[in-house]
Chains A and B, each alone.
Chain A
Amino acid sequence: MSSTNNTEIEKIEDTSLVSDTEKSLSDSISKKFPNVQITYVNPNRIRVNVKREEIIDVASFIRDELHFDHAESVSGVDYPEDNQVEVVYHLGSYTDPSLSKQILALATRTPREDIPHPGNDNTKLPSLYDVFPSVSFHERECFEMLGVYFEGNPDNRRLLLPEDWADIPPLRKDFAIKGR
C-alpha cells in the first residue's frame, strides 16, 4: 500500500478519537513483530500489513494473546499496478467484551500473474484455517474469485461460480464486464 502512507501519519496524529485499547493492541503487535507494518489506527479499527511468511505467526499471536477469535470476512483486493493481490482478514472477538467493538484488519499480499492459473501458479498464501476455522468458506470464495490458492485449507473446491467457469477469476481487475 504505497499511497496510504500519508494518510496513515495523518490519522495517527489525530489521536483524540482513538482510545487506549486500539493503541495498546497496535503497540503489542508492533513490539512482538517488528516487521509488521501498522497501516492505521482508527476508532475501533486497526489495520496491520504482514508478509505472507509471517501471517500464521501473527494470526496465532492475535488469537492467543489479543483474544480475537473469529474472522468476519476475507476480502481480496486486486492491485494490478503493484502486480499483487491483497487479502484482508477482518478479525473480531466474541469472547472478550472489551474488544467487541474492534475489528482488526490483517492484510497480506501475494504476487499476481497476468495469465492466472488458479491453484497452479505463484498466487498462493498460507491458509489461516488452523488458526481461525471460520475462514473456511471465505477462503474458498477468495480462491475462485481472485485465484488465490490457500495452502492448508482442506477444501479448495469451487463454491459460488458455476462448475464450467473457464474464464479468469472474475474479481481480478482485468476481467472486464461487457460494455463497461
Chain B
Amino acid sequence: MSERILPGLQLEKVDDRIMTLNVGPQHPGSGHMRIILKVDGDYIVHCDPDPGYVHRGEEKMAEYRNYITNIPHLERPVIHDSCNILYPYCLGVEELLGLEVPERAKYLRVIAAELNRCVYTQYWLGIYGIFLGHSTMFMWPVGDRELFIDLLEKMTGARVTHSYFVPGGIRNDVPPNFEDVCLRHVNYFEKRIKEYADVFYDNPILISRTKDTGILSREDAIKLGTTGSVLRASGVDFDIRKKEPYDVYEEMDFDTNVLKEGDSYARSKIPWLDMFQSCRIIRDALQKMPKSGSVRVKLKPNPRGGDTEVYRRVESGRGTLGMHIVSKGKPQPYRLKMSVGSFRNLIAMPHLLTGEKLGNLPPVYWSLNYWPVEADR
C-alpha cells in the first residue's frame, strides 16, 4: 500500500483519439446515474458506471426505526415494485419474531407481488421501448400498466407506494368482488401483452438491432454474480420462486423462462415472457385461495427480535432481492443490508459495454434490468 488511492474526483490524461463522454446524470438515456464512456470513433473502449446520485441511506435509516415504521421507508427504492421489495423484509422479520402468517394472507401476498412485478416490468419495458426510439412501445405498456395499478389500488388503497405487506400478514383484506375484476383485468392484460410481439419483439428492425449485442456468456454470468432476467437469459435456470419457494409459491403452477443466447434481445425478452407466467400465477392463486379468513397476525406495539440474524431472499422484478437483518434484541434492527438485483447486475455493465458500439449503449444498458434508485438505496 505504498500508493494511496484517493477516493473521489480524479483528473485523467486526455488522448487525441479517445473522446470521453459523460452519459448522465443529465441525459435522456442515462437514468439517475452517470456512465463515463471513452469512445474511439464509434467503439466504446472503456466504461465506468458511476451510480450514487439517488443514494438515500435507506440502510442507515432502517437502523433508527422500528420494525413497523420501517415499512414506508423501505419500499422507496423501487416504488414500482414496492410489494416485492417489502417481501424479504417481512419474511425476515417474521422469522426473527417467530410469526406464522395466515393462509389467506399468503395467497394475497403472492397475488400482490405478481401484480407488482407486472407493473414494474411494464414500466421497464416502456423505458426500454423509448430508449430504442419506439414511442409506441412506451405508451402501450405504460397504458396497460394502468389495469394492474387499478387492481392494486383497489387492493391496497394506493397507486404505487402500497405499504401493503407487514410482518405477520397484510394490512387489509381485498374489497368484495375483487376476484371477478382481477380475473377480467388479467385476461385482458394477457391479450394486450401478446400484441407487443407484432410491433416489438418480432419486429425485424429490433431483432437486427439487439441480437448479438452485449453477449454475456453463461460462465461470465455466473462469475459476475448477475441475477434475475440477465442470468436466465444467459442459460442459467435460477428463480428463487422455484429454487427456494416462499409463502405459497410451491403450490403455484408456473414455469421459468430460460434463453441461451445471453444477448440484449434475450435479456429484454425474459421479463416479457415472465409476465405471462405472472398472469398464470395470479389466476392460479385466485382459484386456490381460501375464500375467507384472517389476513394479519396482531402484533405487540414494539416487537423485539432475538439476538440473531436472518438472510431472506425473494425473486423481484430485477432478480434476487435479499435482506440481511441483524437483530440485537432491540425494537430496531441493528443492521439491515439489502442485496438488490440492480446493484448486482451493474457489475456486469463494464464487462458488457467495453468493445461495443456507441449505438448499443441503450439496449445493453437497459436490458440489464437496472433500476438506479434501487441500486443506490
Contacts and interface: CB of A to CB of B under 8 A. Distances in A.
A and B touch in the complex (CB under 8 A): yes
Interface of A: 3-4, 7, 44-45, 47, 69-73, 75, 77-78, 88, 90, 94-95, 100-101, 103, 105, 118-120, 132-138, 141, 144-145, 151, 156-165, 170-171, 175, 177, 180
Contacts of A163: 7-9
Given A75-B324, A160-B376, A180 B225 contact: no
Given A94-B231, A170-B60, A159 B324 contact: no
B311 A162 contact: no
Given A77-B326, A101-B244, A134-B223, A4 B61 contact: no
B313 interface: yes
B318 to A, nearest CB: 14
Nearest to B349: A137
15 contacts: A44-B244, A69-B223, A70-B223, A78-B335, A100-B244, A101-B244, A132-B225, A133-B224, A134-B347, A144-B7, A145-B59, A156-B5, A164-B8, A165-B7, A165-B8
Contacts of B5: 119, 156-157
A141 B51 CA distance: 11
Given A47-B309, A138-B343, 7 more contacts: A70-B223, A73-B337, A101-B243, A119-B7, A120-B4, A132-B225, A159-B51
A90 B61 contact: no
A33 to B, nearest CB: 22
Contact of A160 (B4, B55, B222): B55
Interface of B: 1, 4-5, 7-10, 50-52, 55, 57, 59-61, 64, 222-225, 227, 231, 236, 238, 243-244, 306-311, 313, 320, 322, 324, 326, 334-335, 337, 339, 343-344, 346-347, 376-377
A4 B236 contact: no
Q: Which of B55, B61, B306, B346 has the most CB of A within 10 A?
A: B55
Contacts of A94: 222, 231, 236, 238
Contacts of B322: 72-73, 90, 103
A64 B321 CA distance: 26
A157 B7 contact: yes
Nearest to B239: A100
Contact of B52 (A120, A138, A161): A161
A73 B307 contact: no
A77 to B, nearest CB: 5
Q: Which of A4, A47, A141, A162 has the most CB of B within 10 A?
A: A141
B370 to A, nearest CB: 12
A14 to B, nearest CB: 13
Contacts of B59: 145, 171
Nearest to B7: A158
A170 B63 CA distance: 12
Given A151-B1, A159-B51, A137 B347 contact: yes
A26 to B, nearest CB: 16
Closest 5 CB pairs between A and B? A134-B225, A73-B339, A75-B337, A70-B225, A160-B52
Contacts of B334: 77
Given A69-B222, A71-B225, A157-B7, A177 B311 contact: no
Nearest to A124: B1
Contacts of A180: 64
A175 B64 CA distance: 12
Given A94-B238, A105-B311, A160-B52, A133 B64 contact: no
Contacts of B347: 134, 136-137
A130 to B, nearest CB: 12
A77 B64 CA distance: 15
B238 to A, nearest CB: 5
B7 to A, nearest CB: 4
